[in-house]
Amino acid sequence: MVSIKDVAKHAGVAISTVSKVLNHYPNVSEETKKKVNAAIAELGFVPNSIAAALSSKQTGRVALLLDVNRHVQTVDEIPMQYILGAINRAKELGMDVITVFFTMIQEMDVEEMTRYFQSQSIEGLIVCGLSKQDAVLHKLIKSEKFKVVLIDAPGIGIHTSNIHVDNVKAQYDVAKKFIIENKAKKILYISGKKNGYVSEERMQGMKQLAEELGLTLFTRTGNFSELEARKITMQYAKRRDAIICASDMMAIGAMKALIDMDIYRPVCGFDGISLMGYAGKQMHTVRQDFKQLAARAVDEMARLMEGHEGQEVVLPHQLIRIKYEDVIT
């Protein structure tokens, strides 16, 4: 392997000079810069990121924490969108994303977890789907030993940012449009998880709307589970005009249940996943661009790594209707 030393010799300069042009430091004359770059090209030199990391203590490695297989379904495409968005953006920024699933770390206590990430030389954590019950993770975040970007969970610190859409407004907006269009009065609302961050916000938006429009709101907790949404629908849908769900997966469960029951009720979802196109009917929903959400999270991580303080980032959402033709490829 050709190293920085070879380059230095070949270019007739000192090692540190090569290092400087590599890292785009100032204080290097155009001339020597050219010599060095020429040598690099000739030798086909590739900087060894491992050595750089060891020396500089800056690895640029961030872990993407995903909660696949917890309250998430088999066909859930959201984690994949997160991964795609994060990895692609990270590559552009010269960062390194390693994917970690909650199941891999759920048995650990704070110290184990800290050690685990430190041993991997991970500097930052992007956490997707943190819930209030994740005591260990909360402690880890509070310890401020890692830069953290929270997706869809609150929390700001010197090393902690969070990023999300305005869930209250989004639920309010989509439900309003949906209800007016369908002239509904008696609503079955299938919410997410009790004490869930986004769940509570969406619920709030729903309540706000119910009050404003004088709706009869009947609420049940679906835990973001398609199956639970199905059962709830079977039990309560008959006596309502329409069903609004806090997630698309639940909306799909509800829709399938209605088909099996052989009755029709309009259903409204939340997320904008393409699986919605397979559910049978065209459905209202809120579109979140998860790929972009993840990309922005990586950006935010880069900002934190540059030493800036944590902040809250709110991304826009849009209201859409998904049908099969939109998603088939």
13 binds, among DNA, its own copies, none (CB under 5 to 8 A by kind): DNA
Contact status: 282 vs its own copies (CB under 8 A) = no
| Residue of 48, 64, 57 lying closest to 6 (CA atoms) | 48
Which of 14, 38, 54, 135 touches its own copies by CB under 8 A?
54
Q: Which is nearer to DNA, 17 or 247 (CB)?
A: 17
- DSSP E strands in the chain: the ranges are 61-66, 96-101, 124-128, 147-151, 160-165, 186-191, 216-221, 242-245, 267-268, 283-287, 312-315, 318-322
Angstrom distance (rounded) from CA 234 to CA 188: 11
Kindly tell me the number of DSSP H helices and DSSP E strands found in the chain.
14, 12
Tokens of 100: 């970690």
**Shortest approach of DNA to residue 146 CB, angstroms?**
17
Q: Dihedral of CA 22/23/26/27: which sign?
A: negative
Single-letter amino acid code for the residue at 314: V
Contact status: 88 vs its own copies (CB under 8 A) = yes
Angstrom distance (rounded) from CA 320 to CA 54: 48
Angstrom distance (rounded) from CA 190 to CA 68: 21
What is the contact surface with DNA in residues (CB under 7 A)? Answer: 1, 3-5, 12-17, 19-20, 22-23, 26-29, 31-32, 47-48, 51-52, 54-58
12 binds, among its own copies, DNA, none (CB under 5 to 8 A by kind): DNA
Could you tell me how many residues of this chain bind its own copies (CB under 8 A)?
56
Q: Which residues contact 84 (CB under 8 A, 6 or more apart)?
A: 291, 294
26 binds, among DNA, its own copies, none (CB under 5 to 8 A by kind): DNA
**Shortest approach of its own copies to residue 4 CB, angstroms?**
12
Which of 91, 142, 194, 308 touches its own copies by CB under 8 A?
91
Q: Phi and psi dihedrals of 209, rounded to 5?
A: -65, -40
Contact status: 100 vs its own copies (CB under 8 A) = yes
Contact status: 47 vs its own copies (CB under 8 A) = yes
Cross-strand partners of 150: 127, 162
263 binds, among DNA, its own copies, none (CB under 5 to 8 A by kind): none
Tokens of 172: 């309010």
Task: Report 285-324 residues binding its own copies (CB under 8 A).
Answer: 324
Determine how β-strand 318-322 pairs with β-strand 283-287.
antiparallel
5 binds, among DNA, its own copies, none (CB under 5 to 8 A by kind): DNA
DSSP 188: E
Q: Which is nearer to its own copies, 94 or 214 (CB)?
A: 94
DSSP 271: B
Interacting residues toward its own copies by CB under 8 A: 1, 44, 46-51, 53-54, 59, 68, 73-75, 77, 79-80, 83-84, 87-88, 91, 96-101, 103-104, 111, 115-116, 118-121, 225-227, 230, 252-253, 256, 273-275, 277-280, 324, 327-329
